[in-house]
Amino acid sequence: MVAGAAALAAAAPRGDGEMNWRRLLRHLSTPGWFAQRVFSHEDVAVIEAAIAASEKIHHGELRLVLEGSCPLGEVWRDRPARERAAAHFSQLGVWDTEDNSGILIYVQLLDHQVEILADRGIAKRVPQTVWDAICRGMEADFRNKNYRTGVLNAISQATALLAQHFPARTDNPNELPDQPVRR
């Protein structure tokens, strides 16, 4: 039995060679819906409306992913939030917009991490450090239990950047859904 536990630990190293058991237990013991309770149905509706309004003033696309607990395999491999965000970026087709101007805001609720990924069109114009600063602002709002405000502030800041670099055109289709993804 002890040898089996040792083998399991050896099979799932973190970057420093140690399994993050606390993180694993947190994700195993907390259902995703429980972590997402910080966003009411009203919050999600207001956020969706903010995304829709945002996309009327620029030719970019915003997607928001609110993830409660991560799948066990992702936690077991100690997959960083940025890699999870990249997987969602690909899955949701954020990269597949006409001007490559899609942005994904990824919130990992249990790990208290936020990542913003910008497609190559906007990434050429706005450095990652700007997106990282928006992430840190969201995390600060979240620490103060201001979840809706944190997301709305991030949407507002992303909107300003997209409007500056990709202003709306007469032909301004909504290429991706506005509804936040809850996982």
Q: What is the mean pLDDT of residues 166-172?
A: 89
> Does 129 have pLDDT greater than 90?
yes
Q: What integer pLDDT is reported at residue 110 of this predicted model?
A: 86
CATH 3.20.20.70 fits domain 2-182: no
Which DSSP string do the residues of 108-135 spell out, in sequence order? ETTTTEEEEEE-HHHHTTS-HHHHHHHH
In the predicted model, is pLDDT for residue 8 greater than 50? Answer: no
Q: What is the pLDDT of residues 22-70, one digit of tens each?
A: 888 888 888 878 778 899 999 999 999 999 999 999 999 999 999 988 8
Please give the sequence-ordered ranges of beta strands (E in DSSP) within 8-157, or none if there are none.
61-67, 102-108, 113-118
pLDDT band at 143 (very low <50, low <70, confident <90, very high): very high
d(CA 31, CA 110): 10
Q: Has residue 104 got a pLDDT over 50?
A: yes
pLDDT for 24: 85
Token duo for residue 99: 């001007």
pLDDT of residue 100: 93
| Mean confidence (pLDDT) of the chain | 87
Q: What is the rounded distance in angstroms from the CA atom of residue 57 to the CA atom of residue 88?
A: 25
Mean pLDDT, residues 122-128: 95
Residues 124, 160, 110, 66, Cα dihedral to 10°: -90
Q: Where are the chain's structural domains?
A: 2-182
Q: Which helix (H) or strand (E) element contains residue 4? A: helix 2-11
State residue 18's pLDDT score: 55
pTM: 0.86
Give the gyration radius of the chain's Cα atoms.
18
Q: Tokens for 26?
A: 């947190």
63-76 confidence digits (pLDDT tens): 999 998 888 888 88
Residue 182: Cβ-neighbour burial (10 angstroms; 0-12, 13-18, 19+): middle
* Whole-number percent of the chain with pLDDT over 90: 62
